[in-house]
Amino acid sequence: MAEPANYSPSAPVLAAGRSTIGELFRSRAAVRPDDIAVEDGKRRLTYGKLNERVNRLVQVLSGTGVAHGDRVGLLARNCLEYLEVELATAKLGAITAALNWRLAGEELSHCINLTTPKVLLAQDDFADGLAKLELCDHRTLFIGDDYERALAGASADEPAITVTPEGGLVILFTSGTTGLPKGAVVSHRAMIARAFAFTSELAIAPDEGFVAWAPFFHMASTDHALATLIRGGKVIVIDGFQADAMIDAARRERIGWFVLIPGMVEQFIAAIDKTEGFEPRSIRVCGAMADLVAPQQIAAVSKRLKAPYLNSFGATETGLPPATRHLIPMGEAPEALAKEQSSCCEIRLVDQDGNDVAEGEPGELAIKGPTLFSGYWNADEANAKDFRGGWFHMGDIFRRLPNGRLEFVDRAKYMIKSGGENVYPAEIERVLFAEPRVIEAAVVRAKDEKWGEAPVAFVCRSDATLGADDLMMRCREALAGYKRPREVRFIEFDDFPRSTTGKVQRHQLEALLEAEE
């Protein structure tokens, strides 16, 4: 049919093209009711049983007054109930506020009161901590006996609720390293697009499973667990970094993406080496955030898992895009870590005035695409700033190389100004990581009487024969004078403060330096 110049689809036509996460999961459960959907220790649920429990939870939440657009707070460690809550709110049209249980009381109160949940679901062991907080009005349902009794008394009928793709699905909170956390609202549309990006960019087969060991309040586990469930794979739930359980899953299951994050790779390698006769069954790709992992660790763990290592760059706000397409071959210690632009997104590198920078010049990455989040919850000022000009400005600095790849420079918000020059810590860290005896490295700014600020390097070494002079020599060979660290400090691996995603918290290392002044 030829399309008229003024063609405008009717409401039924538009409705037919609008699927949501809840509807896609229900459809998958209908065609694969007897396949295992979720494994949590000794507990296993088929797609049919999981869908039934999700429907019962929809009825429970509806009975407490939760309606379309309301928030449901979720404070829990990794467990299969986490997925039940996310899928139930998806069917109901409510939004799951995925709360970080590791936060201090003030931060947790902020996140709860910011999103004003009508109901808060929490594991029993968080009861005492919640009782000490000053929170907005809400009802609380504890995951455990109370939760199971509520489900047992509810109907398992499929709910007849209309949800729109642009409606909020989950709120995932930013790390808040420079202030209180912000709540990133991820819609059904964005989560479905992330599932497409996840599977197409990494070539994940529909029946390949996902090991959800990273916290569900983080995008890695929530994004990819939901993507797996709407495609028919199995989600293996593990409560945090448990090397033995992860190794067992790698031995038993066909896995699409085996997530590894900075800060745990060395420990995981050691655990594999202690496991007699370890042989992974099938892993499509492993790793993440290669910039933050020593090259020799990338080579070692990818060789043991018999899978390429993912040179990723994404964010809570964007999913796997903008630059998660490059795979480091199995067993290779990369000398360079330029990224490859993801499909299904548009990218610009811009200066402070929003103008495109020249090839090879550093610029802030701005992105458009269907995986993008819908803005920060109740944060009009931040949204206006970060979405200026119709693009989302990530706050990350890249250079476009002649081959089209993207070279990460650093966070725009964390820059060292030394003698009027911009110093990006990541550039120095890459030089330090090139030394095989360096296990971890982080560069922070310190006050300097002559230059205003100067870089200081914190390093964990595997061999005490590695001295500060050795590292300073490498820096002299690879870096301009103003970029070289003023000092190298050796600390233990466990003394590096980390976020929940394994990233080193530079501001906490800075605080150590300031305390000495």
Please, are residues 394 and 365 in contact by the beta-carbon 8 Å criterion? Answer: yes
Helix (H, G, I), strand (E, B) or coil at 57: helix
| Average confidence (pLDDT) over 29-34 | 96
pLDDT surpasses 50 at 125: yes
> What single-letter DSSP state applies at residue 5?
T
Select the more confidently predicted residue: 262 or 431: 431
Copy the structure tokens of residue 59.
Answer: 């009825």
pLDDT surpasses 90 at 511: no
Q: Which amino acid is at 120?
A: L
Residue 2 pLDDT grade (very low, low, confident, very high; cuts 50, 70, 90): low
The confidence score (pLDDT) of residue 430 equals 85
- Interatomic CA distance for residues 442 and 414, integer angstroms: 12
Residue 482 pLDDT grade (very low, low, confident, very high; cuts 50, 70, 90): confident
| Average confidence (pLDDT) over 95-123 | 94
103-142 in b/e form (b: 16+ CB < 10 A) is beeebbbbbbebbbbbbbbbbeebeeebeeeebeebebbb
Copy the structure tokens of residue 255.
Answer: 């896995």
Please, are residues 173 and 181 in contact by the beta-carbon 8 Å criterion? Answer: yes
> What single-letter DSSP state applies at residue 407?
E
Could you please report the per-residue DSSP string of 121-165? EEEGGGHHHHHTS---S-EEEEETHHHHHHHHTS--SPP-----T
Residue 177 pLDDT grade (very low, low, confident, very high; cuts 50, 70, 90): very low
pLDDT surpasses 70 at 132: yes
Lowest mean pLDDT among 243-247, 335-339, 356-360, 416-420: 416-420
In tens, the pLDDT along 399-424 reads 999 999 999 887 767 778 786 677 87
- Interatomic CA distance for residues 334 and 300, integer angstroms: 12
- Interatomic CA distance for residues 218 and 253, integer angstroms: 23
The confidence score (pLDDT) of residue 178 equals 47
The confidence score (pLDDT) of residue 3 equals 59
Domains defined along the chain, listed by start: 20-328 (3.40.50.12780), 416-516 (3.30.300.30)
Copy the structure tokens of residue 445.
Answer: 């700014």
Distances (CA, A) of 60 to 65, 149, 448: 9, 10, 59
The average confidence (pLDDT) of the chain is 92
Select the more confidently predicted residue: 424 or 346: 346
In tens, the pLDDT along 44-77 reads 999 999 999 999 999 999 999 999 999 999 999 9
> CA end-to-end span of the chain, whole Å?
75
Please, are residues 116 and 377 in contact by the beta-carbon 8 Å criterion? Answer: no
In tens, the pLDDT along 436-467 reads 999 999 999 888 877 778 899 999 999 999 99
The confidence score (pLDDT) of residue 4 equals 64
Could you please report the per-residue DSSP string of 66-128? --TT-EEEEE--S-HHHHHHHHHHHHHT-EEEE--TTS-HHHHHHHHHHH--SEEEEEGGGHH
